[in-house]
Homo-oligomer: A and B are copies of this chain.
Amino acid sequence: MSSKTNERVVVIGGGAAGMSAAAKAKRGNPSLEIVSYERSGYVSYGACGLPYAIKGEIARVEDVVVRTPAQFAKQGIAVFVRHEVLAIDPSAGALTVRNLDSGETFVDHFDKLLIAAGGSASRIPVPGADMPGVFTLRNVEDALAIKAWLGDMRPTRGVIVGGGYIGLELAEALAAHGVSLTVVERLPQLQPSLDVEMAAHVQAELERQGVDVRLEHGVEGLSGDERVREVTAGGVRFPAEIVIMAAGVRPSVGLACAAGVALGPTGAIAVDDHQRTNLPGIWSAGDVAESLNLVTGKPTWVPLGTTANKQGKVAGENIGGGDARFGGIVGTSVVKIFDIAAASTGLSEARAQAEGFAVKTVSATAGSRAHYMPGHQPIHVKLVYEVGTGRLLGGQLVGREGISKRVDIIATALHAGWTVEQLSELDLAYAPPFSPVWDPILVAANLAKK
């Protein structure tokens, strides 16, 4: 290796994974030349904050940005926003890139490449899906567009297509702008990471907040004039001056796939525990890549910011000459829906059955604080475990307080590979304002032991 020409690293995608990797690689090996290409106008932002920016809880949408291109430049990382990578030639170490503002196309070269192209919102191919007033939410520009529409058009009625976590967070956000909402969901339940009876608590909260929830109402079409006026779903017509398409996310694998980067069984990019793809010198991380599911031992695709950050850090460390390993995930998530939170980790009952496990479950409702403390709220807990071995496979919690970090106790137990009996033995913190003396998780684990 010549000391004159420094190694050139190209990062495709300026989201959490790409920019974490760039920063980590540069710290690990300051002699690296690092360039990042990002299609949108923003890099290094907390995409999960966008619903709260639309809601208005965060003053400016741009406040979710962690670091600007100028800040990366000071660190010696060149960031090009509004640049789309059109093609990768792995054998030549070449990339074709388009400057989206000038329209100019050029070729760049890399010694090492990180594909962190993220995911994109699935736009359901129904008539009218491209009308003004119809939005998806993935990036800062999307959030700015939704916020502008809310401000300019003052919609009073809206439809959210899809009852997953982005749809539900946006329900809260739009309701804060006085929009009367209908959520239409193709499946017979909301929030598919939860089992149906746990998802019913989420539905009850939405309905308590005045949201019209329509399950098994697949979207069939949108119509209007110069802008959207109506959504048809499940044969029913819903008036709407704003529509959010939140019917899922897909990994943006087109570019990688065309270049010969292997995809895994989930359809996302297959990576090893060093975030290496099948091609030498090419890493992948974030929403475009798979992870190992530590519960099933199989690849999984869970596009979340936590995993993107961790994978990016590992990829960056390895690109910078280190030897880091990403162990995998158990699939932990939490979502706030108006005044409740719903969390899950590991496998739901439905998913565990689909994976071929012989499953038992236990459900309990216990207080968030000691029974005599004012303000205590019911916490609904469900544990999923294996018949015979008692091995914990997953857990779900729904309630008004104390949900988010309680699910992490179950997540930690899943990492440890515990049985429900081991879970029941935990020495957890107790003080009346924060928990009952038997924490809801212990109540459920004790029931499971019987």
Contacts and interface: CB of A to CB of B under 8 A. Distances in A.
Contacts of A53: 372
Nearest to A414: B427
Given A372-B46, A408-B405, A425-B415, A433 B306 contact: no
Given A306-B427, A412-B413, A430-B304, A372 B48 contact: no
Interface stretch (A83-91, A119-127, A212-220, A326-334): A326-334
Contacts of A428: 306, 332, 408, 411
Interface in A308-357: 309-310, 327-336, 341, 343, 345
Contacts of A439: 408
Residue in A16, A48, A426 whose Cβ sees the most chain B Cβ within 10 Å: A426
A373 B306 contact: no
B48 A431 contact: yes
Copies held by the complex: 2
A330 B407 CA distance: 20
B425 A327 contact: yes
Contact of A372 (B16, B58, B310): B58
- Most chain B CB atoms below 10 A, which of A53, A306, A373, A416: A306
Given A412-B426, A426-B411, A433 B52 contact: yes
A49 interface: yes
A403 B430 CA distance: 11
Contact of A404 (B66, B336, B425, B429): B429
A56 B416 CA distance: 42
Nearest to A375: B57
A202 to B, nearest CB: 14
A64 interface: yes
Interface in A418-448: 418, 422, 425-435, 437-439
A374 interface: yes
Contacts of A336: 431, 433-434
Contacts of A413: 412
8 contacts: A46-B370, A57-B374, A58-B372, A294-B427, A345-B429, A404-B434, A405-B406, A411-B429
Given A48-B430, A415-B426, 17 more contacts: A49-B370, A52-B373, A53-B372, A58-B372, A331-B427, A333-B430, A334-B434, A336-B433, A336-B434, A341-B434, A343-B429, A403-B434, A404-B405, A408-B409, A408-B426, A409-B409, A411-B427
